[in-house]
Amino acid sequence: MAGRRVYGGDDGGSISGGSSNHSVLLQNRCGSFASEPLNALFLSGSSSSSSPSLLGSRSMMSFEDIRGGNGSNRSFFCPLDSEDNGDEDLDDYFHHPEKKRRLTVDQVRFLEKSFETENKLEPERKVQLAKDLGLQPRQVAIWFQNRRARWKTKQLEKDYEALQSSYGSLKVDYENLLKEKDSLKAEILLLTDKLLHKEKERGNSVLSEVDKFGEELPHNLVADSNLEDEVSKSSKLGCKQEDISSVKSDIFDSDSPHYTDGVHSSLLEPGDSSYIFDPDQSDLSQDEEDNLGRNLLPPYIFPKLEDVDYSDPPTSSCNFVFPIEDNALWSWSL
DNA sequence: TTGTGTTTTATTGCCTCC
DNA sequence: GGAGGCAATAAAACACAA
C-alpha cells in the first residue's frame, strides 16, 4: 500500500492504513512509542480476526495503554471516559479489545454541537475536542468526516424533496393552463360560429349602418374622456366582458344619446361580445372580411400584443379581455 | 433467539491544495 | 510530497419484527 497516508503529528498516534501499519512506530496518547516488536507481540496475541480495519484499530493502542501504564487515565482506545463509565467499561475493553466501540451519548452531543458551530475541523480544534472528550484526534476527525457525509446525504434528500414538490406544483399549474386553453378554444369556436351566423343574418344593411356609426363615434368618444379610464379600469380588474360592455353602455346612455339607438347599442350589447372579441380572423372568409370592412374589424377586435398587460397571470378566462383602450383607439383609426 | 435492515465507526484509495 | 477531504466500502453495533 505504497503512498498510503501516515497519520501522525497532532493526531497523537501515528498509524497507517491497511496491513502496512505493522511497520511503523506507534505512539500513544502520552507520546510514548511502541516499537515494532512490541506491536507485533500485541497484534499477534489478539483475536483471529484478519480484518484490516481491526488491525488498524488495534494498532492505535500502545503497549503501555494496555498495561494501564503511565500517562493518561483514559486510554484513547476507550472512548468512554472512565469518569463517566467506570472501571466496568474499561474492563470490557481489555477483555474485548478488538470490538468497535460507539461514542457515548455525551460525546456525540458534544461533537454535534461543535459540528453545528463549524463543520470543518481545524487542527487546533481537533486536538482540543479530542482532549475534552478523551478521544484520539484521529477519531474526532473521522467523526467529523462521517458527519459531513451524513449531512450531505440529508441535504441531497431535502433538495430532492424540494425539487419534487416544485415539480408537482408546476405540473398542476400546467394542467390547469391546458384546461383553460381548451375552454378558451371552445369559447372561441362558439363565438366564431355565433359571429358568422349573425353576419349572415344581418347582411349588407347592417354594414351600412355600421359605417354611419363609425363616422359619428370618434367625435363623441373623444369628447368623453372618462370613458377610456372607466373601461380601462374595468379591464385591468379582470371584469367580465359583459361588465365592461355594460359600463360602456351606461356611459353611452347617459352621456351620448347618439348611441342609444338600436344599431349602435347592438354593437355594444352586453350579451353580444362578438364585435369586441374576435378570436380568429382566419376563420372568416375573405369575402366576409371585405364585407365587414377594414375599418370595423381589425383595429378593435384584437389588441396589439405590445398593448396587452401580461404582468398579472390569468386566473380565469375573463382576464383575457383585451385592453379596452384599444377599443377606443379604433375610433381614431376610422 | 435469530434473521434482517439500519446506523455508526473506521479504513482505503484517490484527489486537491499548498 | 505531505496533509487533509471525500467517496466507497467494511464491519461492528444496534434496532426490531417474527
Residue A82 grid cell: 472512565
Report the predicted TM-score, pTM, of the whole model to 2 decimal places.
Answer: 0.46
Q: Alpha helix (H) ranges present in chain A?
A: 36-44, 52-59, 63-66, 82-95, 105-117, 123-133, 137-223, 226-236, 241-255, 262-267, 286-292, 298-301, 324-333
The CATH code of domain A105-177 reads 1.10.10.60
**Across all strands, nucleotide nearest A56 (CA–C1'):** B11
On chain B, which bases lie within 7 A of the protein's CB atoms? 8-14
For residue A294, say whether its CB is under 7 Å from any atom of strand C.
Answer: no
Q: How far does Cα A261 stand from its chain's mean position? A: 57
Cβ of A102 near strand B (distance < 7 A) = yes
pLDDT tens per residue across span A167-212: 999 999 999 999 999 999 999 999 999 999 999 988 755 555 656 5
The pLDDT confidence band at residue A39, using thresholds 50, 70 and 90, is very low
A1 touches strand C (CB under 7 A): no
How confident is residue A269, by pLDDT bands cut at 50, 70 and 90? very low
Domain boundaries defined on chain A: 105-177
Nucleotides of C under 7 A from a protein CB: 2-8, 10-14
